[in-house]
Amino acid sequence: MSIAASRYHHGDLRSALLDAATRRIDKEGVDSLSLRKLAEDVGVSRTAPYHHFADKNTLLSAIAAEGFRQWHATARKIFEQEDMPAAARFRQFIHEYIGYAADHPQLYELMFGRTLWQAQSATDDLKAVAFPCFQFQVQMTRFWQMSGLLPQGPEPLRLAQVTWGTLHGIARLLIDGIYADRSHIDQMCDTAADLFMQASVDRE
Amino acid sequence: MSIAASRYHHGDLRSALLDAATRRIDKEGVDSLSLRKLAEDVGVSRTAPYHHFADKNTLLSAIAAEGFRQWHATARKIFEQEDMPAAARFRQFIHEYIGYAADHPQLYELMFGRTLWQAQSATDDLKAVAFPCFQFQVQMTRFWQMSGLLPQGPEPLRLAQVTWGTLHGIARLLIDGIYADRSHIDQMCDTAADLFMQASVDRE
DNA sequence: AGGCTATGTTGACACTGTCAAGATAATATC
DNA sequence: GATATTATCTTGACAGTGTCAACATAGCCT
C-alpha cells in the first residue's frame, strides 16, 4: 500500500484522469483524445474511467467546466479593476479574451466547440457553470452601454451576442488558422475595440 | 448494362458519393459521417470510394470546396447589385451570410470548422477555392471603407478580419446553440450592421 | 469477522478508416 | 477481332475506437 504505483485502487483516479486528459488535449487536441490511451497514461485498465465518468462526453464536459470556472474568474478580475478607466478595461478584456483563446486553443475549442454543444451533449453540470459565464458577458455589456462606451440603442442581450460573437469569431479564425495568424492578434483586437467604441460616440 | 443497379462498374461513383455525402452531412452532421455507411448508401463496397478519393479527408474537402464555390457566387451576386445603395447591400450581405450558415449549419461547419482547417488537412484543391473567397471578403471591405460605410482608419485586411470574424462568430454561436437561437437572427444581424456602420460616421 | 460498496480487471461487440491482393469490366493497341 | 492495359470494384485483414457485461479486489461499516 505504500508504493503508489503498485496498488489496486488508484487512490484518486478521477483527478488523475482529468489532469492527464487536460494535458493531452492541450498537446494534441480534443479529437485525438482516446479513453484507452488516457487509461494507459494513468496506468489503469481501459474501462476503469467508467467508474468515474458515465462516458467520454461526461469527462470532456468536466474539463470544459473547469475551463469556464477559470475564465469566469479571469473575466471578473479584469472587469472589477475599478481603478482603471472603463475604456481601458474594455480594451484589456478584448485582448485577454483573444489571448486566452490563442494560448489554450484546444481547451477553447472544447469549451466553445460543437463537440459538447451541438448535439445537446453538454452535461447539466457543464451548463450550470457555463451559463453564468455567458450571462456575465451580458452584464458587462450592459455596464459598458451605461458607461457610454457602447451604443445604448440595442438591447444588452443582442449587443452582447454581437460583441461576444466578434471575439468568438476572431478566436476561431485564429485557432483554426483561417486567414488570420498570431502575428495579427494585437492589431485585430485594437481594430475591434475601436470599432465598438467609436460606434457609441453621440452624434446629432 | 442496361439496369443501373446491377452493373459492376457504377458509372459515376464519384458524384454519387459526393451527393450522398452532402445529403448525409446535411442531415446528421460531419461527425457521424462514415465512409462505410456512405458506400452502402450508394450500393457499393466499403473500399470502392478509395478509387475516387485518397481518403475521407479528401472527400470532405471536395464537398467543402463545392460549398465555397456556391457561397462565393452568392456573395458576388449580392455585392454586384449596383442598383441598390451600398448600405442596403451591406445589410443584405450580413443577413445572407448568417442566413446561409443557419440554413446549412452542417455544411457551414464543414467549410469553416476545424475538421478541415486545423491540422493542415485542407486539400490544395480546397485552398484554391477557399482563399479567393476569403480575399473577396477583403475586397468588399475595402469598397465599403471607400464608400464611407465602414471606418477608413484600419487596414482593409484587419477590418475584414474583424467584420468577418463577427459574422463567423455569430454564425457559430447560432449553429452550436450557444446562448443564441434562430429567433434572434434578424435582430442580431441588424445590431451588427448598425454597429459597423455607425462606427464610420465622421466626427470632429 | 462479515458483508456491502466502491473501484478495478478482462472479455467481448460493433463500429471506424484504410491497406493489400485479387476479380472484373472498359478501353486502348495491334 | 483478339489481346493487353488500365480503371474500377470486391473481399479479407488490421489496428484502433467507445462501451457493456461479468468478475475480482480492496476499503469501510457494522
The reply to whether residue B151 touches residue A194, judged by beta carbons under 8 angstroms, is yes
- The whole-angstrom separation of Cα B101 and Cα B107 is 8
Cite the residue boundaries of each domain of chain A with CATH code 1.10.10.
10-53
Of the pLDDT bands very low, low, confident and very high (cuts 50, 70, 90), residue B201 is low
Q: Which CATH number fits domain A63-198: 1.10.260.40, 1.10.357.10, 3.40.50.1820, 3.40.640.10?
A: 1.10.357.10
Residue-wise DSSP of B93-132: HHHHHHHHHHHSHHHHHHHHSHHHHTTS---HHHHHHHHH
Q: What is the pLDDT of residues B145-190, one digit of tens each?
A: 999 999 999 999 999 999 999 999 999 999 998 888 899 999 999 9
Q: Quick check: A200 pLDDT over 70?
A: no
Q: How close B153 comes to chain A (CA, Å)?
A: 9
In percent, the amount of chain B with pLDDT more than 70 equals 92
How far from B170 is each of A15, A133, B30, B62, CA to CA, in Å? Answer: 35, 17, 20, 25
Helix axes of A105-112 and A56-79: crossing angle, nearest 10 degrees: 110
Query: Of all protein residues, which has its CA closest to the C1' atom of D25?
Result: A8
Cite the residue boundaries of each domain of chain B with CATH code 1.10.10.
8-53
Average pLDDT rounded to a whole number, residues A146-153:
93
The reply to whether residue B134 touches residue A176, judged by beta carbons under 8 angstroms, is no
Let me know: does A138 contact A160? Beta carbons within 8 Å.
Answer: yes
pLDDT of residue B1: 33
In percent, the amount of chain A with pLDDT more than 90 equals 85
Average pLDDT rounded to a whole number, residues B109-114:
94
In percent, the amount of chain B with pLDDT more than 90 equals 86
Average pLDDT rounded to a whole number, residues A190-195:
95
Cite the residue boundaries of each domain of chain A with CATH code 1.10.357.10.
63-198
CATH assignment of A10-53? 1.10.10
- The whole-angstrom separation of Cα A108 and Cα A96 is 13
Q: Quick check: B92 pLDDT over 50?
A: yes
Q: Quick check: A5 pLDDT over 70?
A: no
Residue A115's H or E segment, with its range, is helix A114-117
- The whole-angstrom separation of Cα A177 and Cα A172 is 8
Of the pLDDT bands very low, low, confident and very high (cuts 50, 70, 90), residue A199 is low
Give buried/exposed letters for A39-65 (b at 16+ CB in 10 A, else e).
Answer: beebebeeebbeebbeebbbbbbbbbb
Of the pLDDT bands very low, low, confident and very high (cuts 50, 70, 90), residue A19 is very high
Instruction: Outline where chain B has alpha helix (H).
Output: 13-28, 35-42, 56-79, 86-103, 105-112, 114-117, 124-146, 156-175, 185-198
DSSP state, A16? H
The reply to whether residue A170 touches residue B165, judged by beta carbons under 8 angstroms, is yes
pLDDT of residue A179: 84
The reply to whether residue A191 touches residue B134, judged by beta carbons under 8 angstroms, is no
Q: Residue B191 is nearest to which of A31, A119, A162, comparing CB atoms?
A: A162
Question: What is the residue whose three cell numbers read 476572431?
Answer: A170
pLDDT of residue B13: 92
Average pLDDT rounded to a whole number, residues B129-140:
95
Mutate to test the interface with B, among A133, A176, A183, A200 (most CBs of B within 10 A): A176
Residue B200's H or E segment, with its range, is none
Q: Quick check: A4 pLDDT over 80?
A: no
Let me know: does B159 contact A196? Beta carbons within 8 Å.
Answer: no
DSSP state, B6? G
The reply to whether residue B176 touches residue A112, judged by beta carbons under 8 angstroms, is yes
As a whole number, the mean pLDDT across chain A is 91
- Protein contacts on strand C: list nucleotides below 7 Å from a Cβ: 6-12, 15-21, 24-26
Q: What is the pLDDT of residues B4-35, one digit of tens each?
A: 444 656 778 999 999 999 999 999 999 999 99
Give the nearest nucleotide to B34, CA to C1': C16
Q: Residue A195 is nearest to which of B112, B151, B203, comparing CB atoms?
A: B151
- Protein contacts on strand D: list nucleotides below 7 Å from a Cβ: 7-13, 16-22, 25-27
Task: Identify the three-state secondary structure at position A96.
Answer: helix
Of the pLDDT bands very low, low, confident and very high (cuts 50, 70, 90), residue A3 is very low
How far from A85 is each of A159, A202, B110, CA to CA, in Å? Answer: 21, 19, 42
Q: What is the pLDDT of residues A56-89, one digit of tens each?
A: 999 999 999 999 999 999 999 999 999 999 999 9
Least confident of B4-13, B49-58, B62-71: B4-13
CATH assignment of B8-53? 1.10.10
Q: Quick check: A203 pLDDT over 80?
A: no
Closest CA to B63 of B96, B29, B93: B29
Mutate to test the interface with A, among B149, B191, B197, B198 (most CBs of A within 10 A): B191
